[in-house]
Amino acid sequence: MSCVIAVTIHLTDMNIHTSLPACLLSLTLFTTASAQTVSTFLNNTSVKVDDAMVLDAEGNLYGSNYAGTNVYKITPDGNATIFATGFNTPNGLAFDSQQHLYVADMSGNHIYKLSHDGKFLDTIAVPNPSGIIKSFDSDTMIFTQYQSYKLNKLAPDGTIIPMFSSTPLNGPVGLAYDDAGTLFVANFNNREIFRVSDGSLEHVATIPGSGWLGFITYAHGFLWATAFSTHKIYQIYPYQTDSVTLFAGSTAGNTDGHVGIATFNGPNGIIASASGDSLYVSEYNTGHIRVITDLFTGIRPMHDQRNNLQLVAYPNPSQNFITVRAAGTVQRVEVMDLRGRVWLLSNETSFPVVSLQPGTYVLRALIEDEWVTSVFVKK
């Protein structure tokens, strides 16, 4: 007899809310942790990174000095050097698949294409370019024009293709893709974030407070945004309207430590690590780079887990059903969100996920008495 159980477990108060059929499955309880820590990654009086950042394929971090003329390269161990110079106000940064770096020079009215060793390869004249990101599935670039209120495509041959202009764009800068290839764009001026969908801009959220929104990034089912003027970092669930949570920050400061007490000073650029487990944050007021580590440490079973068996989930992304496959016999499957909350249990290898909200989920399968994990995206 097969069954799928929708279940919510709150381990903090031990309340379990579910309607269980006759084929009751035993539950494995999880604890959630909040171990995120903020530290200062770059604090160098001669190096200022106060704007956009991007990672190359080797894990090096590149950062703009908007108030200066340089783009810096910072190795994983924190060694910073000038990668390229001569810009007016270097703003957005993005790599293509060939590791060519694109630099949006806002007041300089150009987008520059550079080789991976810093040589200038191409110059594209365009008024006030601000944010820039590589397209999800090609080397076409997507870029914003801050003062012109525009969102455009930049083809590899240098052709500019308009996408949107004017209202509701209002000083657009921030750009991010989710795991399914959905593009998000954020207004610097009024802190509003939009989803680009079927030729339209759909409201996602407005960051609370006043002042400016710096940049946005995506990691593990959430958007993350910097509240430039109020010194805060916000977490946004982009598949519900105005689902915004204060994640870190309070008043201006430079306190490191637990995310609950850490302070920032004009957080502006933000980018997730390749694994999505860390966030790099540049500070406009100081030129420092802060890093928030252990972003998702909350999925911890209350017994040992050995991940020496491979688990495959397909289709991925999934909309209606998902199937899991492994070398051994799958005894049970659990679906959790990234905070460790269990939403589905099944003793089948194929089961419906249509009831789940869009986002990133963790699959946990008991395979021959060993727990194995994988990740899938619900569309």
CA dist., res. 254 & res. 285, Å (int): 11
Task: Tell me which residue of 114, 134, 133 sits closest to 123, measured CA to CA.
Answer: 114
Q: Looking at the chain, how many residues does it have?
A: 379
Q: What does the pLDDT look like over 51-69, one tens digit per residue?
A: 999 999 999 999 999 999 9
Q: What does the pLDDT look like over 301-331, one tens digit per residue?
A: 333 334 445 678 888 888 898 998 887 888 8
CATH class of the 37-293 domain in this structure: mainly beta
Higher-scoring residue by pLDDT: 284, 34: 284
Task: Tell me which residue of 91, 34, 49 sits closest to 260, measured CA to CA.
Answer: 34
CA dist., res. 233 & res. 283, Å (int): 12
**What pLDDT does 294 receive?**
85
Rg, Å, the chain Cα set: 22
Count of CB atoms within 10 A of residue 332's CB?
A: 17
Mean of pLDDT over the chain: 87
Tokens of 1: 């007899």
Q: What average pLDDT score do residues 247-256 get?
A: 96
Is the pLDDT at 185 greater than 90? The verdict is yes
Higher-scoring residue by pLDDT: 42, 4: 42
Contact 94, 86 (CB under 8 A): no
**What pLDDT does 29 receive?**
35
Tokens of 347: 């003793």
CA dist., res. 216 & res. 214, Å (int): 7
The pLDDT > 90 percentage for the chain reads: 64
Q: Give, rounded to a whole angstrom, the gap between the first and last alpha carbons of the chain.
A: 28
- Find the range with the poorest average confidence among 203-217, 244-258, 313-327: 313-327
Is the pLDDT at 378 greater than 60? The verdict is yes
DSSP labels for 33-79?
----EEEEEE-BTTB---S-EEE-TTS-EEEE-TTSS-EEEE-TT--
Q: Does the fold of domain 37-293 match that of domain 4-32+298-378? A: no
CA–CA distance from 121 to each of 88, 94, 164, 306 (Å)? 18, 15, 28, 48
Region of 166 on the Ramachandran plot (φ > 0 left; ψ -120 to 50 alpha; else beta): left
Is the pLDDT at 95 greater than 90? The verdict is yes
**What pLDDT does 297 receive?**
53
Q: What does the pLDDT look like over 115-156, one tens digit per residue?
A: 999 999 999 999 999 999 999 999 999 999 999 999 999 999
The pLDDT > 70 percentage for the chain reads: 86
- C-alpha angle with apex 356: 354 to 362, nearest 5 degrees? 115
According to DSSP, residue 264 is labeled B
Q: Delimit the domains of the chain by residue range.
A: 4-32+298-378, 37-293
**What pLDDT does 300 receive?**
38
**What pLDDT does 220 receive?**
82
CA dist., res. 307 & res. 169, Å (int): 46
- Residue 119, Cα to own-chain centre: how many angstroms? 29
**What pLDDT does 4 receive?**
47
CA dist., res. 50 & res. 267, Å (int): 8
- Find the range with the poorest average confidence among 32-36, 157-161, 195-199: 32-36
Is the pLDDT at 180 greater than 90? The verdict is no
**pTM for the complete prediction?**
0.74
Residues facing 246 on adjacent strands: 234
**335: Cβ contacts below 8 Å, ≥ 6 apart:** 342, 343, 344, 345, 346, 353, 356, 361, 362, 363, 364
Q: What does the pLDDT look like over 362-371, one tens digit per residue?
A: 888 888 777 7
According to DSSP, residue 147 is labeled T
Q: What average pLDDT score do residues 77-95 get?
A: 98
Higher-scoring residue by pLDDT: 27, 40: 40
Determine the 3-state secondary structure of 189 from DSSP: coil
Q: Domain 4-32+298-378 belongs to what topology?
A: Immunoglobulin-like (2.60.40)
